[in-house]
A and B are shown apart, each in its own frame.
Chain A
Amino acid sequence: MKKLLLTALLTILPTAGAATLVYGANGDPVSLEPGNITDGISILVQHQIYDTLVNFKDGTTDPEPGLATKWTSNANATSWTFTLRQNVKFHDGTPFNADAVVYNFSRWWDPKHPEGFRNQGRTFEIWGQLLGGYKGDATSVVKNIVKVNNTTVRFDLNKPSSVFPEVIGSGYFGIASPTAIKKEGAKYGTPASKPVGTGPFIFQSWRTGDRVTLAPNRNYWGNKPKVDGLVIRAIKDASQRLNELKAGTIDFTSDLTPDALKSIQADRNLVAVKKPSFNVGFLSLNNRNQYLKNDKVREAISMAINRKAIVDAFWNGLGITNASFLPPVLAWANSKNVPATYRYDPAAAKRLLAEAGYPNGFSIDLWYMPVSRPYFPTPKPIAEAIAADLSAIGIKVNLKTEDWAKYLEDRNKEPGFDMYMIGWTGDYGDPDNFYGAYYGPSASDDINWNPPELQRLLEQGRAAVSRADKARVYAQLHEITYKANYRLPIVHSQPLAAARTYVRGWVPSPLGSEAFNNISLVGKR
Chain B
Amino acid sequence: MGSYVIRRLLRTLLVMLGISVVVFAFVRAIPGDPATALLGERATPEAAAALREQLGLNKPWFINFGNPTNPLDAQYPRYVGQLLRGDLGSGLKSNIPVREELASRFPATAELSVAALLFALVVGLPAGIVAALRRNSFWDNAATTVSLVGVSMPVFWLGLLLSYFFAVQLGWLPPSARLGNEYSIEPITGFYVLDALLRGQPAAAWDAVRHLILPAVALGSIPLAIIARITRSSLLEVLGQDYVRTARAKGLAPRHVTIKHALRNALLPVVTVVGLQAGALLGGAVLTETIFSWPGLGSWVYEAISQRDYPVIQGGVIFAALVVSVVNLLVDLSYAALDPRIQYR
CB pair B31 A409 closer than 8 Å: yes
CB pair A408 B160 closer than 8 Å: no
Report if A243-B175 is in contact (Cβ < 8 Å); known contacts: A403-B32, A443-B44.
yes
CB pair A38 B38 closer than 8 Å: yes
Whether B255 sits at the interface, judged by CB under 8 Å, is no
0/1 interface trace, chain B 37-57, chain A, CB 8 Å (1 if under): 111111111111011001100
Contact of A209 among B47, B291, B300 (CB under 8 A): B300
CA distance A83 to B174 in the complex (A): 49
Q: Which residues of A contact B51 (CB under 8 A)?
A: 123, 125
CB pair A209 B299 closer than 8 Å: yes
Q: Which residues of A contact B175 (CB under 8 A)?
A: 240, 243-244, 247, 249
Q: Which residues of B contact A9 (CB under 8 A)?
A: 172-173, 210
Q: Which residues of A contact B50 (CB under 8 A)?
A: 125, 128
Contact of B41 among A402, A409, A424 (CB under 8 A): A424
Report if A209-B160 is in contact (Cβ < 8 Å); known contacts: A9-B173, A408-B39.
no
CB pair A30 B172 closer than 8 Å: no
Report if A234-B42 is in contact (Cβ < 8 Å); known contacts: A20-B181, A121-B95, A186-B95.
no
CB pair A442 B32 closer than 8 Å: no
CA distance A101 to B93 in the complex (A): 24
Whether A318 sits at the interface, judged by CB under 8 Å, is no
CA distance A233 to B210 in the complex (A): 18
CB pair B160 A128 closer than 8 Å: no
Tell me the smallest distance from the CB of B207 to a CB of chain A, in Å. Answer: 8
CA distance A404 to B308 in the complex (A): 11
CB pair A209 B295 closer than 8 Å: yes
CA distance A12 to B206 in the complex (A): 9
Tell me the smallest distance from the CB of B186 to a CB of chain A, in Å. Answer: 11
CB pair B160 A243 closer than 8 Å: yes
Whether B58 sits at the interface, judged by CB under 8 Å, is no
Tell me the smallest distance from the CB of B69 to a CB of chain A, in Å. Answer: 21
CB pair B37 A13 closer than 8 Å: no
0/1 interface trace, chain A 167-198, chain B, CB 8 Å (1 if under): 00000000000000000001101111000000
CB pair B37 A404 closer than 8 Å: yes
Q: Which residues of B contact A125 (CB under 8 A)?
A: 38-39, 47, 50-51, 54
Whether B150 sits at the interface, judged by CB under 8 Å, is no
Tell me the smallest distance from the CB of A426 to a CB of chain B, in Å. Answer: 11
CB pair B33 A409 closer than 8 Å: yes
Contact of B94 among A30, A437, A445 (CB under 8 A): A30
Q: Which residues of A contact B306 (CB under 8 A)?
A: 404-405
CB pair B45 A412 closer than 8 Å: yes
Tell me the smallest distance from the CB of A369 to a CB of chain B, in Å. Answer: 10
Tell me the smallest distance from the CB of A173 to a CB of chain B, in Å. Answer: 16
0/1 interface trace, chain A 3-32, chain B, CB 8 Å (1 if under): 000000110111111001010000110110
CB pair A208 B168 closer than 8 Å: no
CB pair A408 B171 closer than 8 Å: no
Contact of B295 among A31, A128, A208, A445 (CB under 8 A): A208
Q: Which residues of B contact A466 (CB under 8 A)?
A: none
Q: Which residues of B contact A233 (CB under 8 A)?
A: 177, 293
Whether B104 sits at the interface, judged by CB under 8 Å, is yes
Whether B87 sits at the interface, judged by CB under 8 Å, is no
Report if A210-B290 is in contact (Cβ < 8 Å); known contacts: A125-B50, A408-B39, A409-B33.
no
Of all chain B residues, the one with the shortest Cβ separation from A425 is B41
Tell me the smallest distance from the CB of A282 to a CB of chain B, in Å. Answer: 11
CB pair B168 A123 closer than 8 Å: no
Report if A412-B43 is in contact (Cβ < 8 Å); known contacts: A243-B175, A246-B168.
yes
CB pair A408 B167 closer than 8 Å: no
Of all chain A residues, the one with the shortest Cβ separation from B92 is A121
Whether A400 sits at the interface, judged by CB under 8 Å, is no
CB pair B94 A210 closer than 8 Å: no
0/1 interface trace, chain A 246-268, chain B, CB 8 Å (1 if under): 11010000000000000000000
CB pair B293 A445 closer than 8 Å: no
CB pair A189 B33 closer than 8 Å: no
CB pair B45 A189 closer than 8 Å: no
Contact of A405 among B33, B104, B164 (CB under 8 A): B33
CB pair A442 B47 closer than 8 Å: yes
Whether A512 sits at the interface, judged by CB under 8 Å, is no
Whether B83 sits at the interface, judged by CB under 8 Å, is no
Whether B163 sits at the interface, judged by CB under 8 Å, is yes
CA distance A55 to B215 in the complex (A): 42
CA distance A422 to B43 in the complex (A): 12
CB pair A209 B105 closer than 8 Å: yes
Q: Which residues of B contact A405 (CB under 8 A)?
A: 31-33, 36-37, 306, 308
CA distance A408 to B37 in the complex (A): 8
Whether B315 sits at the interface, judged by CB under 8 Å, is no
CB pair A17 B96 closer than 8 Å: no
CA distance A437 to B173 in the complex (A): 46
Contact of B101 among A37, A208, A244 (CB under 8 A): A208
CB pair A38 B54 closer than 8 Å: no
Whether B201 sits at the interface, judged by CB under 8 Å, is no
Q: Which residues of B contact A191 (CB under 8 A)?
A: 96, 100
Q: Which residues of A contact B30 (CB under 8 A)?
A: 403
CA distance A424 to B296 in the complex (A): 32
CA distance A240 to B292 in the complex (A): 7
CA distance A128 to B94 in the complex (A): 18
Q: Which residues of B contact A404 (CB under 8 A)?
A: 32, 37, 306
CA distance A129 to B43 in the complex (A): 10
Tell me the smallest distance from the CB of B298 to a CB of chain A, in Å. Answer: 10
CB pair A17 B182 closer than 8 Å: yes
Whether A235 sits at the interface, judged by CB under 8 Å, is yes
Contact of B293 among A10, A186, A236, A246 (CB under 8 A): A236
CA distance A13 to B47 in the complex (A): 51
Whether A345 sits at the interface, judged by CB under 8 Å, is no
Whether A118 sits at the interface, judged by CB under 8 Å, is yes
CA distance A413 to B290 in the complex (A): 33
Tell me the smallest distance from the CB of B295 to a CB of chain A, in Å. Answer: 3
CB pair A237 B290 closer than 8 Å: yes
CB pair B295 A249 closer than 8 Å: no
Tell me the smallest distance from the CB of B303 to a CB of chain A, in Å. Answer: 7
CA distance A100 to B292 in the complex (A): 41
Which one of A12, A231, A408 has the greatest number of beta carbons of chain B within 10 Å? A408
Which one of B44, B104, B290 has the greatest number of beta carbons of chain A within 10 Å? B44
Q: Which residues of A contact B43 (CB under 8 A)?
A: 408-409, 412
Tell me the smallest distance from the CB of A146 to a CB of chain B, in Å. Answer: 27
CB pair A247 B41 closer than 8 Å: no
Report if A247-B174 is in contact (Cβ < 8 Å); known contacts: A189-B95, A409-B36, A423-B41.
yes
CA distance A118 to B51 in the complex (A): 11
Whether B71 sits at the interface, judged by CB under 8 Å, is no
Within 8 A of B (CB), among A115-161: 118, 120-123, 125, 128-129
Chain B residues engaging chain A, CB cutoff 8 angstroms: 30-33, 36-48, 50-51, 54-55, 90-97, 100-101, 104-105, 108, 156, 160, 163-164, 167-168, 171-182, 184, 206, 210, 290-296, 299-300, 303, 306, 308
Chain A residues engaging chain B, CB cutoff 8 angstroms: 9-10, 12-17, 20, 22, 27-28, 30-31, 36-38, 118, 120-123, 125, 128-129, 186-187, 189-192, 205, 207-211, 213, 231, 233-237, 239-240, 243-244, 246-247, 249, 402-409, 412-413, 422-425, 437, 442-443, 445
What are 7 inter-chain pairs, A to B, with CB distance below 8 A? A36-B93, A209-B105, A209-B299, A231-B181, A233-B177, A404-B32, A442-B47
Known pairs A231-B181, A240-B291, A408-B43 / 11 extra A-B pairs, C-beta < 8 Å = A9-B210, A14-B171, A38-B39, A125-B39, A125-B50, A208-B101, A233-B177, A234-B293, A243-B176, A244-B175, A442-B47
Top 6 nearest A-B pairs (CB, nearest first) are A405-B32, A209-B295, A406-B32, A406-B31, A405-B37, A210-B295
